Amino acid sequence: MALSVGIAGLPNVGKSTLLNALSDAHAEASNYPFCTIERNVGVAVVPDADLARLERILSPRETVPTTIRFVDIAGLVEGASEGEGLGNTFLGHLREVDAILHVVRCFEDDNVAHSTGAPDPVRDVAIVETELLLADLETAERALAKRRKAALTAGKPGRGELEALERVRDELDRGVPVRELGLSDGERQALGDVRFLSDKPRLYLANTGEDDPAGRGPLVAALARAKGADSVLPVSVEIEEEISQLPVEDQADFLDSLGLEETALNLVVHACYRLLDLLTFYTIANDKLSAWQLRRGGTAAEAAGKIHSDMERGFIRAEVMALEDLILLGSPQALHDKGLVRTVGRDHPVEDGDVLYIRFKA
């Protein structure tokens, strides 16, 4: 299943325009709050130079890139955790994604309405994150009430679940998001299927004005000071939507004229891969070349599961080829002839760029 990223933020900060720039979703984007009521979904192909190199060398019948699913979620307002605005819908959709791309308006423009009067990135981020914490606090309280009843008969395992939930509840009450708690594997196991919004990896996209595409203005600087420069990605969403409508061969010249090196899609994809610590591996089977996503440190059996759950269950072994070896020698057979194809078991850690042929029993 493709990586799923939720595009979140206050109403009217550029979420739908960003979705259109990243994908072909054609979401409505207008200058008023709550233009988006239902979620819009766009699928973007992950730019992959290595896949293109493999395609040129191997000439497969079909090439399938990996993708990212972007979900533009209705804007959040103060009180959303109690159902204000479209809060319940927003929060429900947000629980389904792997990571959150929090769009923050970082430009002044009297012609573009702002839900709180004027853009203040630090305050605007705090509004959204407070609502997520409050929603998580309610989730923790509900889960605790349910587990307390179960703990009356569950014995020690039930008490362990209660202790983990009580710790999360207490920290949330102090304003600490779940992702900052350093939960142990045991605590995460004890929490079971309780999903906390503040546990999701977060990236802040600073939506800059068209006159500041590189994000050097004071509002971006304020957001970077508050959240850390590594967590803030400056992008002029309006410019990026214009770029996305140009022919591919013209995009590089337009970027160069603005002093930019990469499109928003490239920047966002790379940032999301770093955020979730993902790598890309490839498979060649039945004259079909495919790219896949996997968490760094994932095993050959887990890689098989990304293709199909039956392949993970029936995993026998995997044949592994290094990307650079395959590009240098030009064919899997040439690697076999030189003894450069490794046979590995299910627990073998997959490396970024590995080309796998997986053998399994149906």
Residue 235 pLDDT class (50, 70, 90 cuts): very high
- The sign of the torsion formed by the CA atoms of 222, 75, 263, 291 equals positive
Q: Which of 237, 253, 275 is the last residue of a domain?
A: 275
Q: Are residues 90 and 137 in the same domain?
A: no
Note the pLDDT tens digit of each residue in 194-229. 989 999 999 999 999 888 888 999 999 999 999 999
> What is the CATH classification number for the domain harbouring 24?
3.40.50.300
According to the model, what pLDDT value does residue 355 have? 97
Q: Cβ(63)–Cβ(51) under 8 Å? A: yes
Asked whether residue 123 is domain-assigned, the answer is no
Q: Which of 244, 275, 306 is the last residue of a domain?
A: 275
Give the type of residue at 352: D
> What is the CATH classification number for the domain harbouring 353?
3.10.20.30
Q: Are residues 138 and 184 in the same domain?
A: yes
Reduce the DSSP state of residue 194 to 3 states and report it.
coil
Q: Are residues 195 and 309 in the same domain?
A: no
Per-residue pLDDT averaged across 304-314, rounded? 95
According to the model, what pLDDT value does residue 155 have? 57
Per-residue pLDDT averaged across 311-330, rounded? 95
Q: Quote the CA–CA distance of 14 and 217 in Å, as a whole number.
A: 18
Instruction: Find, among 121, 140, 315, 153, the residue nearest to 233 by Cα.
Output: 121
Q: Which of 219, 245, 275 is the last residue of a domain?
A: 275
> What is the CATH classification number for the domain harbouring 183?
1.10.150.300
Asked whether residue 51 is domain-assigned, the answer is no
- What is the residue range of 136's domain? 130-199
According to the model, what pLDDT value does residue 271 have? 92
Domain count, the chain: 3
Range scoring the smallest mean pLDDT among 150-154, 325-329, 348-352, 353-357: 150-154
Q: Are residues 315 and 192 in the same domain?
A: no
Asked whether residue 57 is domain-assigned, the answer is no
The conformation of residue 74, written as its DSSP 8-state character, comes to: P
Q: Are residues 334 and 287 in the same domain?
A: yes
Asked whether residue 349 is domain-assigned, the answer is yes
Helix (H) / strand (E) element for 57: namely helix 49-58
Q: Are residues 30 and 77 in the same domain?
A: yes
Mean pLDDT of the chain: 87
Note the pLDDT tens digit of each residue in 154-201. 555 567 788 899 999 999 999 999 999 999 999 999 888 898 999 999
Asked whether residue 62 is domain-assigned, the answer is no
Q: Quote the CA–CA distance of 131 and 100 in Å, as a whole number.
A: 14
According to the model, what pLDDT value does residue 282 have? 97
Q: Quote the CA–CA distance of 306 and 318 in Å, as a whole number.
A: 14
Asked whether residue 334 is domain-assigned, the answer is yes
Q: Quote the CA–CA distance of 236 and 264 in Å, as a whole number.
A: 9
Q: Are residues 230 and 327 in the same domain?
A: no
CA 267 to chain centre: 12
Q: Are residues 20 and 109 in the same domain?
A: yes
Q: Are residues 22 and 114 in the same domain?
A: yes
Asked whether residue 155 is domain-assigned, the answer is yes
Which two tokens mark 231? 């967590």
pTM (two decimals) = 0.85
Asked whether residue 61 is domain-assigned, the answer is no
Of 26 and 224, more confident: 224
From residue 86, give the alpha-carbon distance in Å to each of 78, 89, 112, 317. Answer: 11, 6, 21, 49
Please count the other Cβ atoms lying within 10 Å of the Cβ belonging to residue 163.
12
Q: Are residues 144 and 242 in the same domain?
A: no
According to the model, what pLDDT value does residue 33 have? 43
Q: Are residues 20 and 168 in the same domain?
A: no
Q: Cβ(74)–Cβ(37) under 8 Å? A: yes
In a 13 Å sphere around the CA of 70, the CA atoms on its Cβ side amount to 28
